[in-house]
Amino acid sequence: MGAYIARRLLLVIPTLIGILLVNFVLTQFVPGGPVEQAIARAQGGGDVFGSFAGANNDAGVTEELNTASDSTYVGARGLPPEFIKELEAQFGFDKPAHERFFLMLWNYARFDFGESYFRSIEVIDLIKEKLPVSITLGLWSTLIAYAISIPLGIRKAVRDGSSFDTWTSGIIIAAYAVPAFLFAIILLVLFAGGSYYQIFPLRGLTSDNFDEMSALGKVADYFWHIALPVLASTIGAFATLTLLTKNSFLDEIKKLYVVTARAKGLSERQVLYGHVFRNAMLIVIAGFPAVFVSVFFGGSVIIETIFSLDGLGRLGYEAAVARDYPIVFGTLYIFGLMGLLVAILSDLMYVLVDPRIDFERREG
């Protein structure tokens, strides 16, 4: 198993390089780069893409986009060429694309992500500052989803066709049909002082006086703040995982080895957890990376925005809009690395659930 893990860890390197290469090539063709952003700011126009926020209708969008395009052209034409060359040198665009890419790889291998183009702060410091929020949403949402979905899915499989299975399926399907952002807004309106109850805080991960609290008070304050965003993040994964667990167990329960185990006189509990559990859980564990990555990355932007949480998802989105490439590629590198490591962890969980699995023998 050690050799297999070592090979998987070595494969992380070319995979990360491929991810960065594809996105680096794509950014070379995206209009409105950092130089254009700086020119727009120098001309007093603010963000090149700032006009998107104020558009209220299709006509307004078209008019503002044309204005933004014209202002960028005039700015580029009106500023001295020397100033534009200084901007290109400042952002590193005075070097060939391949040279910039290999320099980025060398720096990222040392976890040196450079400095933000427009924030005057090291990218690694920004990531460290925002990481706790994203870890909170991703980790707790995934753990809660698995803690509830697996027992519920097993119970639904055992009582397939019963009234319990029917009404829980209705709730699960209804929950899956509700988008995470809409569910988050409903939670805010109902429980965060929107129109009804002021039970949970509206924004932030901790209170302003967090440092003055006792250890127990800090823990309580932390869970008080994350209750609504974690609940909103869990809703989609919870529904999918429950049905996946139920269907997996139903498929295993109908197999011949289960009939044989029952014929030997084993109790239903022994059959379920001694034989069925290991085989049925394999497909559930196989979905762990996808669940974690989707919760950690996919829903984090929306949830962080709605609950005013300053995490990596929101940081990456704002950086992409502003064409702040050091932040874009820095967060992409972290996201990709964590996703690949979680996939390796999933393989280790395979072996933990079913020791009969030997990845090294299968590869040989």
Q: Average pLDDT for residues 38-60, to the nearest whole number?
A: 51
What's the confidence (pLDDT) of residue 53? 39
The more confidently predicted of residues 170 and 138 is: 170
| Lowest mean pLDDT across 228-232, 292-296, 300-304, 316-320 | 292-296
Asked if residue 357 has pLDDT above 80, the reply is: no
The more confidently predicted of residues 358 and 347 is: 347
Residues of the chain with CATH 1.10.3720.10: 123-363
Query: Could you tell me which CATH class the domain 123-363 is placed in?
Result: mainly alpha
Three-state SS for the chain is CHHHHHHHHHHHHHHHHHHHHHHHHHHCCCCCCHHHHHHHHHCCCCCCCHHHCCCCCHHHHHHHHHHHHHHHHHHHHHCCHHHHHHHHHHCCCCCCHHHHHHHHHHHHHCCCCCECCCCCCEHHHHHHHHHHHHHHHHHHHHHHHHHHHHHHHHHHHHCCCCHHHHHHHHHHHHHHHCCHHHHHHHHHHHHECCCCCECCCCCCCCCCCHHHCCHHHHHHHHHHHHHHHHHHHHHHHHHHHHHHHHHHHHHHHCCHHHHHHHHCCCCHHHHHHHHHHHHHHHHHHHCHHHHHHHHHHHCHHHHHHHCCCCCHHHHHHHHHHHCCHHHHHHHHHHHHHHHHHHHHHHHHHHHHHCCCCCHHHHHC
Q: Average pLDDT for residues 219-238, to the nearest whole number?
A: 84
Q: What is the pTM of this model?
A: 0.69
The more confidently predicted of residues 62 and 154 is: 154
Asked if residue 104 has pLDDT above 80, the reply is: yes
Please write the tens of the pLDDT for every residue from 175-201: 888 887 888 888 888 888 767 778 888
The more confidently predicted of residues 45 and 97 is: 97
Mean pLDDT (the chain, rounded): 77
User: pLDDT-based confidence at 63, cuts 50/70/90?
Assistant: very low
What's the confidence (pLDDT) of residue 43? 65
Q: Average pLDDT for residues 258-287, to the nearest whole number?
A: 80
Asked if residue 364 has pLDDT above 80, the reply is: no
